[in-house]
């Protein structure tokens, strides 16, 4: 293979970041490395060190790119233009609708989440940190301080629901039904969304 050295830094960096996902999908996150990413991107590995300094910062860039985890802006853009004018309960329900859809569209992300359960490595530590920052941004974007004061159950409930969604998606990789719920079908996940919406409106509109 002939190694090309593109001149446009932004395009090259984007190509390298995209290559991370390709290598992860093909080889798994246990075998991710600079050489494999460079081959996939068709660039000299020197460029990866020049642009990202090494694997940890490259993985961080990939995790923050939206390829691994949906950005808060992505979830907001999926909603109506007046999303922030809706009630807290409606914003909450819509957030989970879009969050579920975005993770279901990212099978590689679900595979990495499954891997986190059994063992940790550089990548799992990076994506965990990325999710923590994401959670803080979600909290700031979808609610204000007075919402948390009025509903102290909001933060722990959100964590439980996010963890539950992730767990069901991981299980859906190998089983179809969990507790009678079809977790491999749109119908099953629509029931999950509806249930979260009902719960949110009962708790947060009171």
Tokens of residue 49, six digits: 């060190």
Helix or strand (DSSP H, E) at 190: helix 186-204
Please report the DSSP string for 88-115 in residue order: HHHHHHHHHHHHHHHHHT-HHHHHHHHH
Q: Count CB atoms within 10 A of the CB of residue 6.
A: 15
- Block means of pLDDT (10 residues each) for the chain, 206 residues, are 60 92 83 91 93 92 86 81 82 92 92 79 81 86 83 89 95 96 98 95 84
Q: Residue 104: its pLDDT value, please?
A: 96
Q: Any idea what DSSP says for residue 82?
A: T
Q: Count CB atoms within 10 A of the CB of residue 76.
A: 19
Q: Which domains does the chain show, CATH number per domain? A: 9-64 (1.10.10.60), 72-204 (no CATH)
Q: Residue 206: its pLDDT value, please?
A: 63
Q: Residue 183: its pLDDT value, please?
A: 98
The DSSP bridge partners found for residue 178 are 181
Q: Count CB atoms within 10 A of the CB of residue 170.
A: 17
Residues 6+ apart with CB under 8 A from 190: none
- For tokens 């989970």, name the residue: 96
Q: Residue 7: its pLDDT value, please?
A: 60
């Amino acid at each position: 293979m002939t190694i090309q050295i593109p001149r446009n830094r932004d395009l090259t960096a984007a190509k390298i970041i995209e290559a991370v996902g390709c290598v992860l999908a093909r080889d798994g996150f246990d075998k991710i490395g600079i050489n494999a990413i460079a081959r996939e991107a068709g660039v000299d590995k020197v460029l990866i060190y020049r642009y990202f300094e090494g694997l940890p910062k490259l993985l961080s860039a990939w995790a923050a790119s939206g390829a691994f985890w949906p950005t808060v802006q992505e979830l907001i853009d999926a909603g109506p233009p007046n999303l922030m004018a809706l009630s807290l309960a409606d914003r909450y329900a819509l957030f989970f609708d879009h969050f579920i859809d975005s993770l279901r569209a990212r099978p590689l992300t679900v595979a990495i989440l499954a891997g986190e359960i059994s063992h940790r490595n550089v990548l799992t530590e990076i994506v965990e940190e990325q999710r923590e920052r994401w959670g803080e941004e979600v909290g700031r974007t979808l609610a204000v301080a007075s919402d948390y004061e009025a509903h102290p159950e909001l933060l722990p409930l959100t964590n439980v629901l996010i963890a539950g969604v992730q767990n069901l998606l991981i299980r859906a990789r190998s089983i179809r039904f969990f507790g009678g719920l079809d977790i491999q079908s749109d119908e099953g996940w629509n029931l999950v969304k509806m249930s979260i919406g009902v719960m949110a409106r009962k708790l947060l509109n009171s």
